[in-house]
Structure 1
């Protein structure tokens, strides 16, 4: 022992480093690259970094390949989450802009990082990008450490007995439940010593975007956990009975927080396991659906753009100028079907839409207007603050009948009766369709039966649902046995 004990006993200031500090030879530094894991609690990659390194640089890379298709609302929510994370880190989150395959190796060299730690990204682009980053780091002798993912069970880990992936939800859910997951990781801001980003050429986050939806949820981990605990205490027990009602606050509104990893589903599943009522079981089922769709996308990445059931490649679809006009009317919420228009206007106002209404408007697009499902999926991904590629694309394919566990082709939602069933008082429609706010009760769902003076500015229905239903069935009939 020659002086080492005395050196290591000296307290070191937390979080002020811009590179590795030696004590008796070598200490280690690492980078924690945040992506869809914008939190500090229950963060497996953070725990792994703490076990391997004495100081950690927190980094987020603004990647144009992900920002451009995200839309203003999702970008604005992301920036809010990053600001909250930076504040919790004592303003030690480094924001860089550029290609991660160039940014991360350069940073690793500057701070002497021996490894870069991440949560897995299993989306198609994320997998390709991570391959490039891993190779660029390897060329510099920097390790690539993947721990955990945005899911309780990382996509690709659950297979049937013969090793093939599941295509149907119910058996997947059983296997997922049997597989299980670890308890939440006990991590937080004090889990590691955070390096200072001073002198590392960070960039400021953009200000709020002009075109973002005006009513976004409050961002960040603190708000996510607060919202979750409030829902568990006051809304979860009745979730099974209330979740299909867009006129009442019956859902958790956790989807945006899950999308950006402000809370991990493992944390939520731990809380659900402590409860014994139907609401907890129903909510757990919805989390399983999220994991199922992520698993499908991992195993069939082309399903983000193409029909999972290739028979639907032969489905006759409307295109051309008239189809474009109808699509624009649908996007603007001017179809003349109140529940459809309310949903589309809610999307533009809040960057979110109730899940039951998502199914209704999707059915209307593909089965009443006969337009491609991917047109609607792209519009949703542009505007949804919770836009998640796996859930969005496969939810749309469910509605179109072309996906896994798809709705039977003959299931064509009647938008009028769906509105009357799930918005019985008309409150949801009146909330978003200003032209109908003076119409009382359920009459709001059939404005064509009103005196013209009661809703003079509301458009007439753009199609006859009964006729288009028969047309949809005829088109599906041409491919169902092919």
Structure 2
């Protein structure tokens, strides 16, 4: 059994199937150098994975009635390491759970070929999602390209059997101890060249126990999820996204928990959260069925957009990255991302919309920046979210939707609590001025010891003028005049 994005014993399809079908099952994980080598040495995600692998090893030892069972861990290129282990262990088959990202699919095909040359079968199982990308289709047999009808079809198809846990305990006796020649200590982070801050990694609560703790906490407040989830200063989200990303908890368990909460009175909070889980599945479907979205717009005509380029655009992009745009909510969001690796979902939309529709910068540049810094980075969701904000994706909303960063700030951080946390240089401004410091009275700026352009930047772009440029940019692609746009 080859663990990948499924770092748990509980409700793990490939582990369940391997234990159920095989007399002896060895368990392995590879810190894949093809993925890790390009990453910065302080990457929190590697720390989260490492801590979760250590927890998985402990859980497997506790699960097995056989002494000596442990996780075989290698720091190598996965495709070579898995074939080598299969040969050295003399196995008949390798079990793993499906991954739908194009590079992962290509890697798995290379692994399949290498294993086939050894006479070893390669069995992939659905686990990352409730329904695989090709399972939910329109009446015409095509993939859905709009979320709401996809969600309706998804919910209509869902049965109790789809959410039934894939247990490991009933067949744990099949877990086998690796031969002494293959037993090695799990490599440390330092041995692999990484040094992420340990306190930040632990705050993410790695491992299955951490995921369970997060879920238990969230279920105690899920009834308020729909009311609080858009306010970054409040404890509204589930904070489970990093656990879903690395599989320390199963999607089936979360969907079942949402349904149970809805039945026991959590109401719209639980149903709203369930809808968010279905959004995740929708983006997996889009990525799986339309892999061109990795580098291109879902709607091909939007690849013709002329984005801002050159030194001025690069300077604007750098200001956005560093949280120095002069728009406090945008800057607070980007600083939260840079400092913690987390970014509140509402602010993912606000910051992305600002980059694309206020600064006119290609969404792919922002997507890559998020990919490098988000603890919960997931290609399907990140790509889908960016294309939603850029209006280049599978979105029923019109292309002329443009977030006003000041209006968003006034609505979702009305007292400026979130802004004050991440933009302390303007923390003393009154609530009436903190959302748009350039409009503040001189007396308020002086009292807060804020000098615009020195202590905090003036806006790098005027929203209304940027809005007009964006309307013209998109109208040109659509063959319409900007003056005809509502």
TM-score clears 0.5:
yes
Could you say which residue in structure 2 is the equivalent of 1:317? Answer: 307
Distance 2:308 2:169 in 1: 52
Distance 1:210 1:342 in 2: 26
Could you say which residue in structure 2 is the equivalent of 1:186? Answer: 167
Distance 1:378 1:442 in 2: 35
Query: C-alpha displacement at 1:355, in angstroms?
Result: 0.5
Distance 1:435 1:210 in 2: 30
Could you say which residue in structure 1 is the equivalent of 2:381? Answer: 391
Mark the runs of 5 or more structure 1 residues left unpaired by the alignment.
1-31
Could you say which residue in structure 2 is the equivalent of 1:33? Answer: 2
Give RMSD over aligned pairs: 2.0
Structure 1 contact 94–197 (Cα < 8 Å) conserved? no
Could you say which residue in structure 2 is the equivalent of 1:97? Answer: 75
Could you say which residue in structure 1 is the equivalent of 2:219? Answer: 232
Q: Which has the higher helix share?
A: 2
Query: C-alpha displacement at 1:206, in angstroms?
Result: 1.5
Q: Secondary structure at the match of 2:406?
A: helix
Query: C-alpha displacement at 1:83, in angstroms?
Result: 2.0
Q: Secondary structure at the match of 2:92?
A: strand
Q: Give TM-score, length-normalised by structure 2.
A: 0.88
Could you say which residue in structure 2 is the equivalent of 1:166? Answer: 144
Pairing partner for 1:360 from 338, 350, 354: 350
Structure 2 contact 75–187 (Cα < 8 Å) conserved? no
Could you say which residue in structure 1 is the equivalent of 2:474? Answer: 476
Distance 2:37 2:271 in 1: 37
In structure 2, the CA distance between the partners of 1:424 and 1:197, relative to structure 1 (3 Å rule), is: farther
Query: What are the Cα deviations for residues 355-409 of structure 1, in whole angstroms up to 9, with x where unaligned?
Result: 1000000000001110000000000000000000000011100100100015422
Q: Give TM-score, length-normalised by structure 1.
A: 0.89
Query: What are the Cα deviations for residues 209-247 of structure 1, in whole angstroms up to 9, with x where unaligned?
Result: 4466974412111100111011012x2001111111111
Could you say which residue in structure 2 is the equivalent of 1:49? Answer: 18
Could you say which residue in structure 1 is the equivalent of 2:98? Answer: 120
Query: C-alpha displacement at 1:89, in angstroms?
Result: 2.6
Query: C-alpha displacement at 1:478, in angstroms?
Result: 0.8
Query: What are the Cα deviations for residues 39-92 of structure 1, in whole angstroms up to 9, with x where unaligned?
Result: 111111111011122322221112233224665122222222212212323381
Query: C-alpha displacement at 1:301, in angstroms?
Result: 0.7
Aligned residues: 450
Query: C-alpha displacement at 1:274, in angstroms?
Result: 1.5
Could you say which residue in structure 2 is the equivalent of 1:129? Answer: 107
Could you say which residue in structure 2 is the equivalent of 1:266? Answer: 252
Could you say which residue in structure 2 is the equivalent of 1:204? Answer: 187
Structure 2 contact 19–168 (Cα < 8 Å) conserved? no
Query: C-alpha displacement at 1:185, in angstroms?
Result: 1.5
Query: C-alpha displacement at 1:161, in angstroms?
Result: 2.2
Query: What are the Cα deviations for residues 158-181 of structure 1, in whole angstroms up to 9, with x where unaligned?
Result: 112222111111111112112222
Mark the runs of 5 or more structure 2 residues left unpaired by the alignment.
62-68, 481-486
Q: Secondary structure at the match of 1:162?
A: coil
